[in-house]
A and B are shown apart, each in its own frame.
Chain A
Amino acid sequence: MATEVAPKSILKKPTNPTTASTSKADRDRQTALYHADLIQARKDTELEILSATEELLEYPLAKSPFNASNPSPDDAKTFKSLLTPFQPRDYDELIVERNCADLCGYAMCPNPRQRESGGGIYRVMGTSGKAKDFKILAKEELEKWCSEACAKRALYIRVQLSESPSWERGATEYLVRLDLLDEPKSVEALEKLDLSAEESQNSQQNKANLALERGDQTISVRSRLVDVKIEEKVIQRKAEAPSLEEDGLGGKLSTMHLALEGHVPIFDGRKQVGSGDSEDEDTDWKL
């Protein structure tokens, strides 16, 4: 009893086997390469930070008319760009290195660091001013800088550095914008100053999350496990406002009040909209 119409299969069509199946060894290799790339990216960044530290040991390059409060524009520019991958911890190491070379910890300052004479570990500061100026400081801390002004300048940079390591920053990289203390501030930086520390950290986190959601990723990692590309749909024709006169909507207008979540119920055993084709009708019961 062969029927003319072959029954339709309800199973999914098999996907093309050549594209989907890669051997397990291949996939393992991909995964291993991906993680190796991550580690390599991290190592590269660390090396970059090390060489930046070495370069900043020689700073400032420009001589006499310039000083710490008035650094040469070139030096300031390279200083800022060299500091972009730094974390506060790396910056501390830079200060230690500069002190080893007997320089002031602030990289834009050409002076040697201050040496406190006499023994003792702590120094009492501000005994002759207001009470709020009074503080006790470790001698070690004082000897990091040539003056208190330089300490302020250096720490002003430090608080602007991002806490997250630069190989994880990726999308939020644009957030690292450094300002020197003596420079005219950009408007954004001034706004940032008003925020309390916690708030600014929150907003940074929010921006980072948003960037992640949008799919902005770090560029440094070359390959990833799954190839995800987001392409914007390009629309060529002009944008038009929808209108009732168009035939697409006009026909449905009479039954629109019956629609339940987009579905229009059928009465009297026949469709009211788009009726007439029997192709989709179930024919399985036929012998």
Chain B
Amino acid sequence: MSTDEDRQAKQREAGSRETAKLWRAWRTVHELVQDRGYTLAEEEVKITLDDFKRAHGDSEGNISKSSMKFSALPSEAMIQRAQIPPSEREPNPQQPTVGTIWVEFIEGDNVGIKQMRNFVQFLGGHNYGTGIMVTSVNVTPSAMKIVHTQLDLKVEVFHEQDLLVNITHHELVPKHVLLSQEEKAALLVRYRLKDTQLPRIQTTDPVARYLGLRRGQVVKIIRKSETAGRYASYRFCV
């Protein structure tokens, strides 16, 4: 009798642990989307565990991942940041379109070519600019190849495990600020540099992945300094 109760208690605990994990990943991915400049309501980002259970759980308390998806529109500031300033060579540059973002948690114990194709087709069909896929398992190598063949669509894959904590909130991670095209041009003029002469950051860097940096963008990193108070450095994304 007692072993049965024991097992049930264990199961409940494992279930609630899984729920808590999903809730934390859900919150982090919302913070990520907000930090990139998309518009999200404050109560959407700061959802409590109970609210989360109510929204996505069934009567037994199991979370259904199929309901864990959302989209967000880019804010005015974000669109402004992506604008390319007119230069001498091109007085009327073609402005990029900043698309909406789609975030989806993927169910299942494997993610292969089929799931990735479906995801990409869904994004293309609904005119999303960026798609974030959150999985609990590793994506197969061939499915990742599909990601790299997308030209105008940006697909990012995050592991649930990596989203349990928001790394940018850690005290050892300095503040990264994405520079707008205009600020970047001003920086290069100020220091008389070409952009490739700046120090670099990789696209696979955890913070670069968090911010969704693309090749050619520049981030300003603001560190605390004992002597200078604050110290700013710049990284060119490669």
Contacts and interface: CB of A to CB of B under 8 A. Distances in A.
A50 B146 contact: yes
B110 interface: yes
Interface in A8-50: 46-47, 50
B178 to A, nearest CB: 29
Interface string A190-217: 0000000000000000000000000000
B142 interface: yes
Contact of A101 (B112, B145, B149): B112
Contacts, number: 34
Interface string A73-109: 0000000000000000000011011011100000000
- The DSSP consensus for interface residues of chain A is helix
Contacts of B113: 53-54, 57, 97, 100
Contacts of B146: 50
Contact of A50 (B110, B112, B149): B149
Interface string B130-159: 000000000011110110010000000000
Nearest to A94: B142
A89 B190 CA distance: 49
B145 A46 contact: yes
A97 B140 contact: yes
B114 A100 contact: yes
Contact of A93 (B114, B117, B141, B149): B141
B98 interface: no
B73 interface: no
A54 B120 CA distance: 15
Given A47-B149, A50-B146, A50-B149, A101 B114 contact: yes
Contacts of B143: 97
23 contacts: A46-B145, A47-B149, A50-B142, A50-B145, A50-B149, A54-B113, A54-B117, A57-B113, A93-B140, A93-B142, A94-B142, A96-B112, A96-B140, A96-B141, A96-B142, A97-B112, A97-B113, A97-B142, A100-B112, A100-B114, A100-B140, A101-B112, A101-B114
Interface of A: 46-47, 50, 53-54, 57, 93-94, 96-97, 99-101
